[in-house]
């Protein structure tokens, strides 16, 4: 299992969103944290439920 897939699986369990920044660090943010829709579309990828 790739590192990304492992993080996606873990985030799905925790009901969080994976955020991919400019660097290779991936952080989990609770779904309750909201920004503008345009920024979210550019900065995050929602996990399928």
Asked if 19 contacts 47 with a C-beta cutoff of 8 angstroms, the reply is no
Largest pairwise CA distance in the chain = 33
15: left (phi over 0), alpha (psi -120 to 50) or beta: left
Q: What is the pLDDT along the chain (49 residues), one digit of tens a residue?
A: 688 788 888 888 887 777 666 554 555 556 555 555 555 555 555 555 4
Q: Determine the pLDDT at residue 49.
A: 45
Q: Determine the pLDDT at residue 5.
A: 84
Q: How far apart are the first and last CA of the chain?
A: 19
Place of tokens 């590192």: 3
Q: Determine the pLDDT at residue 28.
A: 58
Q: Determine the pLDDT at residue 46.
A: 54
Q: Determine the pLDDT at residue 24.
A: 45
């Amino acid at each position: 299992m790739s590192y990304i897939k492992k993080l996606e699986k873990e985030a799905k369990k925790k009901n969080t969103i994976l955020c991919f920044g400019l660097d290779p660090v991936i952080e989990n943010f609770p779904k309750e944290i909201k920004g503008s829709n345009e920024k979210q579309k550019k900065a995050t990828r929602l996990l399928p439920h």
